[in-house]
Amino acid sequence: MVGGPLVNMRLCASVTVPDLHVSSDVVEFGEVKCGECRIVTVQLHNYQPVRCDWTAVSAQVTKKQVQTPAILCM
């Protein structure tokens, strides 16, 4: 409202961020020989009421570099 009275308001908020937990502190693949594949299962839990977006990035192997899989939290 133009020219109306100013009203002071007190606001209270509860700010929460995603909190991603992995079921294991260490992921152990054991001995994996060249050309073999080993699958290890882990569970991801978000105990907060806000959404946690994540993605799994697969490993890409080249002659010059090796990139390991990663979990990206946004």
Query: Residue 33's domain spans which residues?
Result: 18-74
In the predicted model, is pLDDT for residue 62 greater than 60?
A: no
Any bridge partners for residue 73, and if so which?
54
pLDDT tens digits along 5-60? 888 888 888 777 878 888 888 888 888 888 888 888 888 888 888 888 877 776 66
Cβ-based neighbour number of residue 69 at 10 Å: 10
Report the largest interatomic distance among the alpha carbons of the chain, rounded to a whole angstrom. 77
In a domain, 7, yes or no: no
Q: Dump the DSSP string for 10-52.
A: ----------EEES-S--------TT--------EEE-SSS--
Domain contains 58: yes
37 DSSP assignment: -
Is pTM beyond 0.85 here?
no
Q: Please check whether residue 8 lies inside any domain of the structure.
A: no
Does residue 1 lie within any of the structural domains? no
For the chain, what is the domain count?
1
CA angle 72, 33, 40 (to 5 degrees): 40
Q: Does residue 73 have a pLDDT over 80?
A: no
